Amino acid sequence: MSYAVDGWGTGELVFADDLLVWHELPSARRSPPVVHPLAERVRAYFRGERDDFADVELDLEWCTPFQRAAVRAMRTIPYGERATYGEVAALAGYPSAQRALGSVCASNRFGLFVPCHRVVAAGGLGSYGSLGLGYKRRLLELEGVVL
């Protein structure tokens, strides 16, 4: 289902029963918005309301043990904070897997629910997939992170 966020665009939430299986962050493409409690929470986040989305259940059946650990670690990074790839890899129990953690971020299908935008390189922002660094910077600024 699609949801619209003023100033950000339209995103997607995909569920299997009540389990979130995919989240696409809002972008400039157009789709008709829908009303869903989770979509309302996402809209509120983009208006500046704090939400860690920790209660949202995700479909992680496709994940390896490392990917599950990485997802769990990223979900512990608080709103308004950031951590390096190395710090998150260590938190996940794989201290020398920063590059592998970057791969998990690159294939993240849960947008805000696995906040890889809060994961940064030791010497800068790092990357942010197809949405680009400008989008990552905008998300961090929305959360009050000083860059």
Whether residue 42 is found in the same domain as residue 69? no
Whether residue 83 is found in the same domain as residue 128? yes
| Containing structural domain, residue 31 | 2-46
Asked, for residue 87, whether it belongs to a domain, the answer is yes
DSSP 20-44: EEEEEEEES--------HHHHHHHH
Asked, for residue 26, whether it belongs to a domain, the answer is yes
Asked, for residue 59, whether it belongs to a domain, the answer is no
Options 13, 97, 116, 120, the catalytic residue: 116
> Would you call 116 a catalytic residue per the annotation?
yes
Instruction: pLDDT tens for the chain, 147 residues: list them.
Output: 888 888 888 888 889 888 998 888 888 766 565 678 898 999 999 999 999 999 999 999 999 999 999 999 999 999 999 999 999 999 999 999 999 999 999 999 898 999 999 999 998 888 887 788 888 999 999 999 987
Whether residue 71 is found in the same domain as residue 29? no
Give CA separation, 119 vs 9, 24, 44, 75, 100, in Å: 23, 18, 22, 11, 13
Whether residue 69 is found in the same domain as residue 138? yes
CATH of the domain at 85: 1.10.10.10
Q: Among residues 92, 137, 87, which one has the least CA distance to residue 117?
A: 137
Asked, for residue 147, whether it belongs to a domain, the answer is no
Find the helix packing angle between 98-106 and 65-74, rounded to 10°: 80
Q: What tokens were used for 27? A: 């972008």
